[in-house]
Structure 1
Amino acid sequence: MTVDSVQAKKKNNLAISADDVASYLRENPDFFTDRDGLLAEMTVPHESGKAISLLERQVKILRERSIESRHTLNSLLENARYNDQLFSVTRHLILSLLEEDTLSQLTHVTESNLMTQPGIDACRLIVLDERQAAADLQNRFPAAMRSRSVITQVIDKSGSQFLFPEASATIRSVALCPVIHHNSLLAVLVIGNHAQDYFSDELDTLFLDFIREVLASLIDRLQRTTPRK
């Protein structure tokens, strides 16, 4: 709101609203320059019930914004460290996988590497090189067999025993990662956690997607080059 518009309202005996004042001050941020006395007289309510000066209120707001900014920065740094750790783990896993020349070794390296990571209480790479394995998965987890992306879900004790027969405790939530090569489902990488709400729809699957793409290529190569017994 401009000075002219304020004067026009006063001339026509029109009330100046709080929004008008706010608009005027926003457009004239130097209004309180050389008006220290006025600034010191102005007060605003406080949560305690005691009025504080406008300057105190401004300092409080700036302090709160500073704290909020620090929290945001800390969160960004934490995410950066987490992503850096994931990248390191993924890099080490991929380099290890490239050295293996059998499906059993590939499976062992995948599971042993991922099991060292926080949040992964169980891990299993189920290679669908047998009809029975595919049929069992289809009966218990049909969605995972149809999906082309990572899906998460809660499982019961029976599902936990089926997916992780060697787990010492019941797994309650899982991420099922289909390993697909040229539209053919070759395997399912399953990671689990004891907590029911650990793996959810909010799971960031960027690194899991990369791992399963690499696995798909390696499994396909090994299946084509390994003589069938």
Structure 2
Amino acid sequence: MSDQQQTQLDDDQVAAYLQLHPDFFQDHLDLLERMHIPHPSGNAISLISKQLELFRTKHQEQENQLNALIDIARENDAAFNRMHELTLAMLEANSLEDAIANLSEVLAECFLTDFVAVKIIMPISESPISNLFVEPNAPGLQHFSNILQENQPKCGRPTLAQAQFLFGEAANEVKSCAILPMVFTQLDGLLAIGSRDEGRFHYSMGSLFLTQMSEIIGTRFISLLRHLE
């Protein structure tokens, strides 16, 4: 066997050697002047240019990930601020009338909603707020039996029967809404937030903030209802 055959290296051996000696080309810069790597476009580029291209791609990916994390942080901050405003609005209310008024205002300003409906399921016939209380056996509640049973917010386009029960004459204007059940030991009810925009409340929306919203509002309603007893 000739000396040339004995010393010949295959591709895997060369690759393995370079992996073990990543600084090889720093000591053999003259080789870079003669080496070319095929570019996807068909042009030949130097190893350094190829490496720079990979670094730029990796850097851009990392920058995109960082921007995505920043956007998420901003959205979370905005959601936290909206919930803070809602909490303050509920705490400032000294009556159910005040609570409904404050709720409508803060939802319109901070949550960009067009319609708000509250239904408290309780056998109270007289109230200064029209249609606030609903008898437990009211026929219209059958359209919300699954929502109340599952005790989970539901987003999307309401059925016509649901919209009419919640929003009355404005039912046809509601293109999407979030229906939040308020199911507590001392209170059963529904909170509905409607919009003229079909995409404002869609079925894939997360329920965490909506659930927290119903808990804040429901807890305050329980406290204010004691004044009616």
Give the TM-score range, shorter chain.
Answer: 0.7 to 0.9
User: How big is the shift at 1:108?
Assistant: 2.0
- Distance, in Å, in 1 between the alignment partners of 2:196 and 2:37 is 51
Aligned match for 1:78, one of 71, 78, 82: 71
**CA offsets, 1:173-195, max 9 Å, x none?**
3222212223x652222223444
**CA offsets, 1:50-69, max 9 Å, x none?**
23222112212222222232
The residue correspondences of 1:25-44 to structure 2 (distance < 5 A) are 25-44=18-37
User: How big is the shift at 1:97?
Assistant: 0.9
- Distance, in Å, in 2 between the alignment partners of 1:168 and 1:150 is 19
Tell me what 1:188 maps to: 190
Q: Among the aligned pairs, what percent are the same residue?
A: 29
**CA offsets, 1:23-80, max 9 Å, x none?**
6544543333312233344433334222322211221222222223223222222222
C-alpha distance 204-41 of structure 1, shift in aligned 2 (>3 A): farther
Q: Does 1:64 align with 2:66?
A: no
Query: Normalising by structure 2, what TM-score?
Result: 0.74
**CA offsets, 1:119-165, max 9 Å, x none?**
53433333223444773553323321212222223335564444334
One-letter code of the match for 2:166?
L
One-letter code of the match for 2:194?
G
Query: Normalising by structure 1, what TM-score?
Result: 0.74
Aligned match for 2:101, one of 81, 94, 108: 108
User: How big is the shift at 1:167?
Assistant: 4.6
Ranges in structure 2 where 5+ consecutive residues have no aligned partner: 123-132
Q: Does 1:210 align with 2:203?
A: no
Q: Does 1:151 align with 2:144?
A: no
C-alpha distance 97-27 of structure 1, shift in aligned 2 (>3 A): farther
Tell me what 1:4 maps to: none
Q: Is the 8 A contact 1:186 1:220 kept in 2?
A: no
One-letter code of the match for 2:226?
R
- Distance, in Å, in 1 between the alignment partners of 2:173 and 2:20 is 63
C-alpha distance 168-138 of structure 1, shift in aligned 2 (>3 A): closer
Tell me what 1:170 maps to: 173
Q: Is the 8 A contact 1:43 1:52 kept in 2?
A: yes
User: How big is the shift at 1:118?
Assistant: 5.2
User: How big is the shift at 1:99?
Assistant: 2.1
Tell me what 1:99 maps to: 92
Tell me what 1:224 maps to: 226
User: How big is the shift at 1:113?
Assistant: 0.4
User: How big is the shift at 1:85?
Assistant: 2.1
C-alpha distance 44-76 of structure 1, shift in aligned 2 (>3 A): same
Q: Is the 8 A contact 1:179 1:187 kept in 2?
A: yes
- Distance, in Å, in 1 between the alignment partners of 2:224 and 2:89 is 15
User: How big is the shift at 1:93?
Assistant: 1.8
One-letter code of the match for 1:226?
L
- Distance, in Å, in 2 between the alignment partners of 1:124 and 1:25 is 70
Tell me the C-alpha RMSD between the 2 structures. 3.3
Aligned match for 1:179, one of 178, 182, 204: 182
